[in-house]
Structure formats: structure tokens, C-alpha cells
Amino acid sequence: MKPALFSVLCEIKEKTGLSIRGAQEEDPPDPQLMRLDNMLLAEGVAGPEKGGGSAAAAAAAAAAGSPTDNSIEHSDYRAKLSQIRQIYHTELEKYEQACNEFTTHVMNLLREQSRTRPISPKEIERMVSIIHRKFSSIQMQLKQSTCEAVMILRSRFLDARRKRRNFSKQATEILNEYFYSHLSNPYPSEEAKEELAKKCSITVSQVSNWFGNKRIRYKKNIGKFQEEANLYAAKTAVTAAHAAAAAVQNSQTNSPTTPNSGFQMKDEEFQLDSAENKNTLLTNMFTGSSGSFNLPNSGDLFMSMQNLNGDSYQGAQVGANVQSQVDTLRHVISQTAGYNDVLGGNPMYSPHGLNGNGGWQDATTPSSVISPTEGPGSVHSDTSN
């Protein structure tokens, strides 16, 4: 009975013709798949373990900004990428395994069935290839979503605007510190920018951005920044006072109020890069409002500044060699020595370097719209009178 049935089945099969389209089997490399593979390879998700990943990350970082920023975002990017990579690989392995399992399962099934019905090797082959195709389409989905993830990651990191993070408090402190202690000329040199970038763990271009924003915003609404200016002025002044105290320690000028008495601030945190621009600050002070001065001797400079301002400095507190702090010192001294802004109002801090034309250095920008909102000293430069 059984052989008879078997032969019947064979006959039926012969008629239906199983070899429907065998030629289609050799799957031509899907261009879409190729594309995905190439991309994954290029991004370092597929391919060799670590080398590709970091290379791609480096490329991405380089494209993001200046080539010298090897900071947080870089490693962050790398970490996220390797995470994607790991997920991708485990998923891929899972699929592979599942595919193999399923294939053997089907094979076993077919083998079992081959006892009761005729199954040609071609049929088995076809079955297998169908399974493989199914799984590879799943794989393709995996690859596609991985690619998407990488793209999103990249765009997140490349388009930093989208993922704007505020700088750390400390970084802002440092930047503000510099800004207000160089208020007369808040244009850090390239080296200074690099230094600041390092200190703040940000990029040089971020420092430039910050100063660009700060300058413009400060200028736009000086009143708003008064408090901040005072705060940082005081901070730097303390540092300066310390330095001054140290500088004139032997000159026995008995100041009535010792600067460091009961006024402890974390000096180390606010110490200024005293090395460079000892003179630039002063010179720039003058260039800000009265043309460019090029005095060769910083001591002379210091003296001439005193004269120009008509203020008398308490030399004991200031010290003869602390030019880099003149800006802020002058402010502090103005408070203690009864310095009053001519315009009245809130005479706490006046922007020495700002000229009436809306520029720090030259009167090139013709914006005559100085905000009328009581900017004490917005047009006032105390060296001009």
C-alpha cells in the first residue's frame, strides 16, 4: 500500500513541476544590502574590532569642528558607537544562529518526511535558500536600523546645536573670570584661547564662540551684567590683592586693611595667567578710548594710567607690579576709595574699553543705537575726561 501511494505522489509531483524557477536562486548582490554593508564597514560597526571604530569616530570628530578637539564629545561618540556595534554584532549572531537552527530543523523535518513523500535534493536546496533569504531580509532590517542609529548618532554629534549642553559651572567661571579681568580688551589671543579651552575642557572654537557671545551680549545690555562684573571683579581683585601683598611684602607699606584678612577665596581657582599680557591690558585700556598707546615700559604705563584717571591708588594694596589686575583693582579701589561714576546710578562697574561706537577697539561699527536703558558708563569712558 505504501509504495503505491508513494508512486502516486511522485506522479503528482511530476505534474505540478516543482522546478518553478531555479535560475533565480543565485541571488545577485542586492545593491541596497551592499550599500548598508559598506556604510557599516565605513562607520566601523562592521569589520575589524577596534581600529575601524576609532577611525570613523576620529573622522566624525574632525568633521565636527577643529581637529584638535579630542575631548568629551569624541569619547562619548566612540562609546555610543561601540555600543551600537556591540548590539549589532550580538543581534547578527543571534540571527545567524537562529537561521542555522531553523535550517537544520527544516532539514530534519524534510528528511523525516522523505520517508513518506518524495523529496528531491533540489527541493531541499530550494527550501534552504528560501530560509536563508528570509533571514537575510531580517538581517537587512537589522543593518538598516543600525545604519539609522549610526546616522542619528552622527548627526547628534555633528550638529552640536541640536544637542547644546551648557558648559560646566567651573568652565563658565573661568571664562567669565578672564572676560571681566580683560574687560577692556576681551579678545583672548590664540594661545590664551587654547589655554582657556584646556582649562575648561572645551574646544578653542567654543571659547571663541563664548567670547563672541559674551562680548555682544555684554555690550548690548551692560546693566544686566553689572552684578556679574562686580562679582568677578571682586574675585580677581582678591587674587590680585594677594599677589600684590606678596609683591610688596618687603616694602613695608602698612595698609590699614590687609587684603587677605578674613576674605578667603579659593585663590588657586581664580588665579590668572599672569605670564602673558602684563602690558597688553594696560595698553588696550588706552586704545579703547584714546587711541593706541605704545609705551615701552610697563612701569611708565602704570604711572601714566594713574595720572590719566586722576585717581590715587593706594599703592600698598595695589602694588607696583600687578598691572594685569588693574582693571579689577581699579574697580575695587573705587569702591573703597570713594570713586564715583560721573553718571551716577549704579556706579559699580564701568566698561573702560567700550567706546561709544559700540566697539571695544576701534570706532568702526557705526551702531549709534546705544541702549537708552540707563547704562551706567555705557558711553562713558573714564579716561576720556
CB of 87 to DNA, least distance (A): 23
320, amino acid identity: A
The smaller minimum CB distance to DNA, of residues 212 and 345, is found at: 212
Sign of CA dihedral 347, 348, 350, 356: negative
How far lies 66's CA from each of 58, 191, 206, 348, in Å?
Answer: 11, 15, 10, 39
Based on CB atoms, which residue is closest to DNA, 178 or 302?
178
If the CB atoms of residues 109 and 216 are measured against DNA, the closer one turns out to be 216
**Least CB distance from residue 162 to DNA, whole Å?**
4
Minimum gap (Å) between residue 328 Cβ and DNA: 20
User: Whole-number minimum distance, CB 265 to DNA, in Å?
Assistant: 21
Please say whether the beta carbons of 102 and 110 come within 8 A. Answer: no
CB atoms within 10 A of CB 161: 6
Q: Which positions touch DNA (CB under 7 A)?
A: 65, 159-167, 172, 187, 190, 205-206, 208-213, 215-217, 219, 224, 358-360, 364-365, 367
| Four-residue CA torsion sign, 198, 203, 205, 208 | negative
Q: Give the residue with the Cβ less far from DNA, 102 or 187.
A: 187
Nearest residue (CB) to DNA, 182 versus 331: 182
Q: How far is the CB of 187 from DNA (least distance, A)?
A: 4
What's the half-sphere exposure (Cβ side, CA atoms, 13 Å) at 3? Answer: 0
> 282 or 354, CB closer to DNA?
354
Residue 221 CB, nearest approach to DNA (Å): 9
Question: Would you say 15 or 164 has its CB closer to DNA?
Answer: 164
Q: What's the distance, CA 241 to chain centroid?
A: 34
For 111, other C-beta atoms within 10 Å of its C-beta total: 11
Q: How far is the CB of 211 from DNA (least distance, A)?
A: 7
Cβ distance to DNA smaller for residue 4 or 369? 369
CA dist 262 and 130 (Å) reads 83
65 vs 347, which CB is nearer to DNA?
65
CA distance to 282, 310, 358, 360, per residue, from 380 (Å): 18, 15, 12, 13
Closest distance of CB 51 from DNA, Å: 28
Please, what is the minimum distance in Å from the beta carbon of residue 105 to DNA? 48
d(Cα 348, Cα 339) in Å, to the nearest integer?
9
> How many H-runs (helices) and E-runs (strands) does the chain carry?
14, 0
Cβ atoms within 10 Å, residue 205: 15
What DSSP string describes 172-195? HHHHHHHHHHTTTS----HHHHHH
Integer Cα distance of 374 and 371 in angstroms: 8
Q: Cα dist. 61→57, 163, 201, 244 in Å?
A: 6, 15, 15, 44
